[in-house]
Amino acid sequence: MIKIKIRNRIRKFFVILLMIISPLAYSKGVGLNATRIIYPEGESSVGVIVRNEEPKINYLVQAYISSDENPIVFQVTPPLFRINSLSRHEVKIYVMSNSLPKDRESIFYFHAKMIPGQNNNSDTAGLSVGFDNVIKLFYRPKNLPMTSDDAQKKLGFSVEGKQLKVVNNSPYYINFAGFSVNNIKLGVSLANNNAMIAPYSSIKYALPTGVTKGSIQWRTIDDLGGFNEHKATF
């Protein structure tokens, strides 16, 4: 059991690392058309676009879904394909069983591992280094008691010692793009593995020295990858 937990933590670390690196690949002209995927219960499928805007390089793409917390209930079509230069390709995701929780979201990760073909004009002929585009996939059940936008606003806050406790009493995953107390930024980031709160759970952040009350500003990421700003006092 301990070995399994350690293995899952290592796997989760590498998934987070890949999510940090993915925007670098996107800026080079290859990537995905979304920063996250929402799969609503009842939909027959959802799609994501893989794009290749490189003028001279084709890619072999392996698409798949991973999770540290849930059984894989999705099928990806096609799982392996070639994407030519200056083209796009849609990947379809299908849910194959309905065994996931009905009272909250479940999280998965969509991967598009891309291996470039050789560029005849390159000095690295014979060397192909692949990279992995990774984004979050949220399975969202029907009839949840609030919207995801409402959930982002209705966080609970309390001070415990030298830490700020943030409570998510909603069925949604809340993703942060920034967090400040009295206009002092907290260390919230993917790299620190503290930029997301699971449904019906909490997370703690170290408070700036001497701070016991004041104002909180937090920025959340919505379903489309945009940002929402929120404020509260504690």
pLDDT of residue 8: 47
Peptide bond into 78 cis (omega under 30): yes
pLDDT of residue 70: 87
pLDDT of residue 2: 45
Contact call for residues 114 and 60 (beta carbons, < 8 A): yes
Q: How far apart are CA 56 and CA 7, in angstroms?
A: 39
Mapped onto helix, strand or coil, the DSSP state of residue 20 is helix
Find the angle CA(136)-CA(70)-CA(60) to the nearest 5 degrees.
Answer: 50
Q: Where in the chain is the domain with CATH 2.60.40.10?
A: 2-140, 148-233
* CB neighbours of residue 153 within 10 Å: 15
Tokens of 92: 């379809």
pLDDT of residue 164: 95
Low-confidence ranges of the chain (pLDDT < 70): 1-28, 118-129
Amino acid at 83: I
* CB neighbours of residue 10 within 10 Å: 10
Contact call for residues 64 and 72 (beta carbons, < 8 A): no
Closest CA to 140 of 215, 214, 41, 63: 41
pLDDT of residue 190: 86
- Sequence-separated contacts (24+) of 41-46 with Cβ below 8 Å: 41/98, 41/139, 41/140, 41/141, 41/142, 42/142, 43/95, 44/94, 45/92, 45/93, 45/94, 46/92, 46/93
CATH classification number, 2-140, choose in 1.10.3720.10, 1.50.10.10, 2.60.40.10, 3.40.50.800: 2.60.40.10
Residue range 148-233 forms a domain whose CATH class is mainly beta
Amino acid at 137: L
Global confidence as pTM: 0.84
pLDDT of residue 121: 54
pLDDT of residue 180: 96
Q: How far apart are CA 102 and CA 197, in angstroms?
A: 18
Tokens of 73: 């209930």
